[in-house]
Amino acid sequence: MLWKRLGTVFLIAVFALCPGELGAESIAVKKSEEAKWCFSYTKAVMAAEENDNLILAYFAGSDWCPWCAKLKTEVFDTEEFKEWAKKNVTLLYLDFPRHKSQSDVIKQQNEKLSKKYNVHGFPDVLLLTPDGEVVGNAGYREGGARQWIDRFQSFIDSFPKPKVVEPKKSLVSALTYAKEKNLLLLLILTEQPSDFTNRKIKMLFRNNDFATLMDWCITAVRLDLPLGADSNAEERKALEGILERHQLKSGRLQLVLLDLKNDKVLYQCTSLSGNVKFLVRDLEKAIQLQYDGEWLDNFDRARAIANQKKLAMLLNFTGSDWCQWSAKLKTEVFDTREFKDYAKKNLVLVNVDFPKKKALPADTKLRNEALSRKYNVKGFPTIIILDQSGEQMGRLGYMEGGPLVFLNQLKQFGKQPQIR
């Protein structure tokens, strides 16, 4: 899906808290429950993934905070809000009471989320992707439900929508296409798939990071086994050849990433029980991503490269065709041999451009605007340095003195292991 991201370690910690309250029983989420408040982060993530919406996470002090009581009365208890929420968001209630009791599991979950999102006051309401990226936030605001809803609807409207990709219709067509384009092949085999499996596969093809891989280096095909009577001999022969060569055993589910050029399996799994983003990360790790120091305009691709190669990311927020200071930074620093030599060893370079004369693809424009909001960029050029997981390490702007002065400032972040 569109959404980028809670750290893997954090998510594992939350998932591991308690299978009963936060685990498997919360996976089956019905549409009719959309407008009800979830208390489990895991259940909210599952619901948001299934319904393809965002999570409205409400941090509250229910039995002591007067502003929380006002927000509840003036907004959350209104029919206007309930109708809007039912259609647009998954509701997550994260309470920090002083007098009433909570289970240790919920208390631990809420504290972890509070620390993760640096919540220090109540009420605080965050709009999150299922992967934990902050889309927008607000506290109590006067003006009633309509004004409050309009603010959060504006966050939703301005956030990039997920790019949906499709698998090939047949194995033969997937093999032909992969060989022509020199792509890897993701083979998805299912036998009597459950509704849960079908839902997870659908989520995979709506995941923006997976869409990036599909644009870049993968094609995919899904086959329901046994093959139907309408499948031709060529299709059956191709499948039997792959199963035999790679000793793939039958089962309810097989996801196999194949390097056709070298005829080998790069990755294989038989379960989709976790968050789809973990599967995408595993696929990224299995692929030897190529990068030679060039500037990228796709943040998701850059993050995948940075994660695999253990490099930091440099995000250049620029107005390439109108901002004179952006032009000076490019000429005086980025185009120099000193910077290029350093960056090639230490950085993945990303242009986050806001041109006035040239048009950007619609999805790139939305992604750039989302990144600008996320990192609170107010002017150009702004340079954001991220570690491989996307956490901000520091920021810079234009400075006189050329590449050596700029690199010396950049190396102030060198205590982080990603910049060498």
Domain boundary residue, one of 286, 321, 340: 286
Residues 223 and 276 in one domain: yes
pLDDT tens per residue across span 199-234: 889 889 988 888 888 888 899 999 998 887 777 899
Same domain for 251 and 301, yes or no, is no
Quick one: 14 and 152 in the same domain? yes
- The CATH number of the domain holding residue 198 is 3.40.30.10
User: Does residue 419 belong to any structural domain of this protein?
Assistant: no
Whether residue 3 lies inside any domain: the answer is: no
For 321-361, how does the pLDDT look when each residue is reduced to its tens digit (9 = 90+)?
999 999 999 999 999 999 999 999 999 999 999 999 999 98
Q: Is residue 420 part of a domain?
A: no
- Whether 163 is in a domain gets the answer no
Query: Which of 131, 158, 185 is a domain's end point?
Result: 158
Euclidean distance between CA atoms 172 and 241, whole angstroms: 12
- Name residue 295's beta-bridge partners: 349
Q: Report d(CA 287, CA 217) in Å as an integer.
A: 9
Give the residue from 230, 179, 160 showing the smallest Cα distance to 374. 160
For residue 350, being part of any structural domain is answered with yes
On whether both 105 and 137 belong to a single domain, the answer is: yes
| Residue 240 domain flag | yes
- Domain span at residue 126? 8-158
Q: Are residues 338 and 379 in the same domain?
A: yes
Top mean pLDDT of 19-23, 247-251, 278-282, 379-383 is at: 379-383
Q: In the structure, what pLDDT confidence band is assigned to residue 22 with cuts at 50, 70 and 90?
A: very low
Q: Are residues 65 and 107 in the same domain?
A: yes
Condensed to tens digits (0 to 9), the pLDDT of residues 61-90 reads 999 999 999 999 999 999 999 999 999 999
- Same domain, yes or no, for 375 and 398? yes
Q: Is residue 166 included in any domain, yes or no?
A: no
- Do 143 and 190 lie in one domain? The reply is no
Same domain for 180 and 63: no
- The residue-averaged pLDDT of 284-299 equals 87
394 and 280 in a common domain: no
Give the residue from 224, 118, 126 showing the smallest Cα distance to 167: 224
- How is residue 86 written in tokens? 């039912």
Mean pLDDT of the chain: 85
In a domain, 1, yes or no: no
The pTM assigned to this predicted structure is: 0.59
Give the integer Cα–Cα distance in Å for 224 and 192. Answer: 8
Instruction: Answer with the one of 258, 286, 314 that is the final residue of a domain.
Output: 286
Identify whether 355 is preceded by a cis peptide bond (ω within 30 of 0): no
Question: Domain check: are 73 and 113 in the same one?
Answer: yes
pLDDT in tens, 248-264: 877 788 999 999 988 99
Query: What value does the CA radius of gyration of the chain take, rounded to a whole number of Å?
Result: 24
> What does the pLDDT read at residue 85?
95
Mean pLDDT, rounded, for 19-35: 38
Total domains in the chain come to 3
> Do 37 and 137 lie in a common domain?
yes
